[in-house]
C-alpha cells in the first residue's frame, strides 16, 4: 500500500524553466491538495481538488497551474520557474468528509518534493 507518492523527490531548475510535479494516491480519495512549505511559514495551500476534473485556488496560487484528469493523480505545474518558488512541496489526499461513524477523512501526505530554482 503506497499511499501518497510524489515524484520527483528533488529537482533543481533554472529561472524560466518549466516542470510538473506528480502526486499519485492509491486510496481512491476524492480530495487532493498541493501545499508549499518555506522556513518559518508553515504549510500554505496552493491549489486543491474535490474530485476528478475539478480544481480550485488556495492561498498562494500565483505562478502555478494544476490538473486532475484522473482521480488518482494531481499534477502541479510551474510554467516559468522563479527563485521565489524554491520550496518543499507536499501533496495530500483524503476521502470525502462525513459525520459520526462514517467520518474517516484525515489527510494523508506524501514525503515532499524539494525544489530549488536558481
**Chain contacts with another protein (rule: CB under 8 A):** 4, 31, 33, 35, 40-45, 48, 50, 56, 58-59, 90, 92, 96-99, 103, 105-112
Q: How far is the CB of 11 from another protein (least distance, A)?
A: 17
Q: Which is nearer to another protein, 13 or 92 (CB)?
A: 92
- Closer of 17 and 109 to another protein (Cβ): 109
Please, what is the minimum distance in Å from the beta carbon of residue 94 to another protein? 9
C-alpha cell at 20: 510538473
Chain-centroid distance of CA 86 in Å reads: 15
Distance CA 73, CA 84 (A): 25
Nearest distance, CB of residue 20 and another protein, angstroms:
19
- 98 within 8 A of 105, measured Cβ to Cβ: yes
Q: Which is nearer to another protein, 59 or 79 (CB)?
A: 59
Closer residue to another protein in complex, CB, 12/96: 96
DSSP 8-state symbol, 71:
T
3-state secondary structure of 100: helix
Residue 71 gets the label, from left (phi > 0), alpha (psi -120 to 50) or beta, of alpha
Amino acid at each position: 500500500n503506497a499511499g501518497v507518492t510524489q515524484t520527483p523527490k528533488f529537482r533543481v531548475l533554472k529561472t524560466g524553466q518549466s516542470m510538473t510535479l506528480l502526486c499519485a494516491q492509491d486510496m481512491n480519495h476524492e480530495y487532493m491538495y498541493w501545499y508549499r512549505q518555506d522556513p518559518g511559514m508553515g504549510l500554505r495551500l496552493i491549489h486543491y481538488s474535490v474530485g476528478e476534473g475539478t480544481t480550485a485556488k488556495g492561498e498562494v496560487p500565483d505562478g502555478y497551474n494544476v490538473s486532475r484528469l484522473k482521480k488518482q493523480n494531481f499534477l502541479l505545474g510551474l510554467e516559468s520557474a522563479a527563485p521565489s518558488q524554491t520550496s518543499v512541496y507536499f501533496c495530500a489526499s483524503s476521502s470525502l468528509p462525513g459525520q459520526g461513524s462514517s467520518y474517516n477523512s484525515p489527510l494523508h501526505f506524501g514525503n515532499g518534493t524539494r525544489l530549488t530554482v536558481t
